Amino acid sequence: MFKIHAILCPVDFSDASRKAVQYAKEFALSMGSSVSLLNVVEPRPMAVDITLNYIPFEEDLEHAANEDMQRVLEEFQLAGLKAESSIEIGNPSDVILDKARELNVNLIILGSHGKTGLSRLLMGSVAEMVVRKAPCPVLIVKAEETEFIGNE
């Protein structure tokens, strides 16, 4: 029998990500799994002029993400689930893959923005990279898909 003991759920607070969190919660409840929530803050490009005050530093983004992540973590704890969270700075797909190996998870539940065309070509797809290189199965959750979990 296949047993999911540890789930990694990357969170960027988008609609797709929030749906992925719901899936992670349901899987954890039904399988008795622990969940590791992960937020990845992308570093600013080195070519950016430091005098631009409107671009927040990684530390500011990390602080803001920490507040939002605590709310998500509390949802898991209120449901009686074993969950932890972390915020890392780096390339999202690389950090997700490294964390999956480090934590020895056997399922990644990841939201996908569903970018196509030029935006996908220019920015790449975190979900696609994770699916191709992950050491375990990956469940991709789209923001606009039909939900298969209920709110009972």
pLDDT value at 103 more than 80: yes
Q: Is 115 a member of any domain?
A: yes
Q: What is the CATH number of the domain that holds 32?
A: 3.40.50.620
Cβ(111)–Cβ(19) below 8 Å: yes
Average pLDDT over residues 9-37: 94
Q: Which domain holds residue 24?
A: 6-44+53-91+108-124+132-142
Q: Structure pTM?
A: 0.83
Q: Are the C-beta atoms of residues 13 and 104 closer than 8 Å to each other?
A: no
Report the range of poorest mean pLDDT among 47-61, 80-94, 134-148. Answer: 47-61
pLDDT digits (tens, 9 = 90+) for 129-147: 999 999 999 999 987 766 6
User: How far apart, in whole angstroms, are the C-alpha atoms of residue 113 and residue 93?
Assistant: 14
Is residue 1 a part of any domain in this protein?
Answer: no
Whole-angstrom CA distances from 135 to 19, 98, 103, 107 are 23, 10, 11, 9
Question: Phi first, then psi: what are they for 43, rounded to 5°?
Answer: -70, 150
Question: Looking at the 3D structure of the chain, how many domains does it have?
Answer: 1
